[in-house]
Amino acid sequence: MVQAQVKEVGPCKVQITIEVPKDKVKKELEDKYSHFMTNAVVSGFRKGHAPRHLIERKFGKDIHNEVKLDLINTSSTEAFKENNLDPITDPSVEFEKIIMDETKPMNFDITVEVMPKIELTDYTGVTVKKHKIEVTSKETDSSLDEIRQARGEWVIADNKTQKGDLLIVDQELKIDDKVISKQENSQLVLGPELMMFGKPAPVLVQTLQNAKKGETKEVTIPASGGISTDKVPDDAEKADYRPDVHRDSAYGLRNKDAHLKVTIKEIKRLKLPEVNEAWAKEMGFDSLAKLKDELKKRLHRQKENIAARQTEDEILDKILSKTDFPVPESLVNESTDHLVRRRLMQMQLAKMPEEKIKEMIDKLKTETKEIAVRDIKIEFICDHIAKKEKIFVTEDDIKQRINEMAAAYRKWPEEIKKNLESRNMMHQLRNEVKEEKVRQFLREKAKIADDK
């Protein structure tokens, strides 16, 4: 049996000093040499008949390194088990500095991050306030309107443009009388979603309103309005050139006004179905009242799911407030980096200026680190409760979740499963399902008090 001394050297990080008895070192070496001599093929000798001194001279270093690695692995595993340590990273060890001599014990240190020790007792019966769930007539009507919008039909409009119209247009963008972009038969929707160079374009919307088919409208985009190209390429007249994308070629036009010319070729308007009994029957309902009733039930279920999640978060926050434990730095750093990268990508897609992004980096790292620590602690707490309460994830649970994902993405379940397996995400899926089952368990065991 190996001797091991454990010393904490950081949050969830321990250094283990291990001593392997010389008898074990000698036996492992003898066993390895015996196995090697039986199977080694050495020139000039029949298989298994080469003398040991020749084997030692020719293969001794490799054999010693292999035995040393085996002893490190087996003794480390034994030390983890004896000291009830659950490693979450591979042990760090200075392999070359370890001296192995069959006449002496083998001593070495390993450093490893381990699962925190969590002691939870009062996690059932947590008292939280009941969330009031109410669906208003306005919300039902809004949901009904969304269905109308989705089932609307774009039809040709002969009168002037108005807000919400879909326009088929030709566009031409000039800077210093040089055409840098041409687009034919592009589509624009006159509304707040209309963008110009990644930014809302209320001026363009206003300019195009009350226009007729065949009419050409022009608008000046000031230098501060979003043109961020540093130069214009030689083939700028090509119809597929976009100044908000092609930023890496030509000469400086950053601080100059741009002039956009738009020719309206066609006006389309969304024709919405009338809300009546006939339309409700087309939707598969006996009456309009039945359709509205179903929408109200759907909205209620959605709000119930949201309320359940909020209740679970409140329960976990209360449990978290009653216990404190460190979290592994590597997990915090990994999770923080992931959250920061995602937020940076969101800001870049929103065309936020680089200077503004740089100003926010430090604050962003602090905020995301706090989120990462909380998320990791919640994960550890749920894992701890799952073990104590014997909450398991079955293959049927995974199959059901994959089927739900397949229905949501309109794909075959096998396709979803293969995609998850190829990205090594099945373990993550199991953890998510396990956490959801723990959350449900905590909610069912909680005391939900009416908010009076």
List, for residues 332-380, the tens digit of each pLDDT value.
999 999 888 888 888 877 777 788 888 888 888 888 999 999 999 999 9
pLDDT at 38 over 90: no
Same domain, 134 and 103: no
Give mean pLDDT, residues 20-33: 92
Backbone angles phi, psi at 443, to 5 degrees: -65, -40
Per-residue model confidence as pLDDT tens digits over 240-254: 444 444 433 333 455
Counted domains in the chain: 3
End-of-domain residue from the set 250, 271, 292 = 271
247 found inside a domain: yes
End-of-domain residue from the set 271, 306, 339 = 271
> What pLDDT was estimated at residue 197?
65
244 found inside a domain: yes
341 found inside a domain: no
Same domain, 162 and 236: yes
413 found inside a domain: no
Same domain, 144 and 82: no
Q: Which residue type sits at 156?
A: I
Please spell the DSSP secondary structure of 163-230, one letter per residue: TT-EEEEEEEEEETTEEEEEEEEEEEE-STT-EETTEE-HHHHHHHTT--TT-EEEEEE-GGGS---S
295 found inside a domain: yes
Q: State the Cα–Cα distance between residues 30 and 35, nearest whole angstrom.
A: 9
Q: What is the mean pLDDT of the chain?
A: 87
Between 77 and 52, name the one with better pLDDT: 77
| Cβ neighbours of residue 97 closer than 8 Å, sequence gap 6 or more | 108
Please spell the DSSP secondary structure of 292-347, one letter per residue: HHHHHHHHHHHHHHHHHHHHHHHHHHHHHHT------HHHHHHHHHHHHHHHHHHH
> What pLDDT was estimated at residue 332?
92
> What pLDDT was estimated at residue 215?
94
Same domain, 147 and 167: no
Q: State the Cα–Cα distance between residues 214 and 262, nearest whole angstrom.
A: 10
287 confidence band (pLDDT: 50, 70, 90): very high
Same domain, 162 and 226: yes
Same domain, 282 and 299: yes
325 confidence band (pLDDT: 50, 70, 90): very high
Q: Which domain holds residue 175?
A: 153-271
44 found inside a domain: yes
CATH number at residue 175: 3.10.50.30
**CB 324, CB 380: distance < 8 Å:** no
Same domain, 182 and 286: no
Q: State the Cα–Cα distance between residues 207 and 188, nearest whole angstrom.
A: 13
197: alpha, beta or left, given left = phi > 0 and alpha = psi -120 to 50? left
Per-residue model confidence as pLDDT tens digits over 151-183: 999 999 988 999 999 999 999 999 888 888 899
End-of-domain residue from the set 237, 271, 305 = 271
Give mean pLDDT, residues 50-58: 78
Give mean pLDDT, residues 142-146: 95
Between 116 and 42, name the one with better pLDDT: 116
Sheet-wide strand order for 13-20: 3-10, 13-20, 106-113
Q: State the Cα–Cα distance between residues 241 and 50, nearest whole angstrom.
A: 74
**CB 257, CB 106: distance < 8 Å:** no
| Full-model pTM | 0.72
Same domain, 172 and 243: yes
Query: Is the alpha carbon torsion for 403, 407, 412, 417 positive or negative?
Result: negative
Same domain, 262 and 290: no
**CB 235, CB 241: distance < 8 Å:** yes
> CA nearest 292: which of 142, 144, 138?
144
Percent of the chain with pLDDT over 70: 91
Same domain, 103 and 131: no
**CB 225, CB 258: distance < 8 Å:** yes
197 found inside a domain: yes
231 found inside a domain: yes
Same domain, 24 and 90: yes
| Cβ neighbours of residue 312 closer than 8 Å, sequence gap 6 or more | 439, 440, 442, 443
Same domain, 142 and 217: no
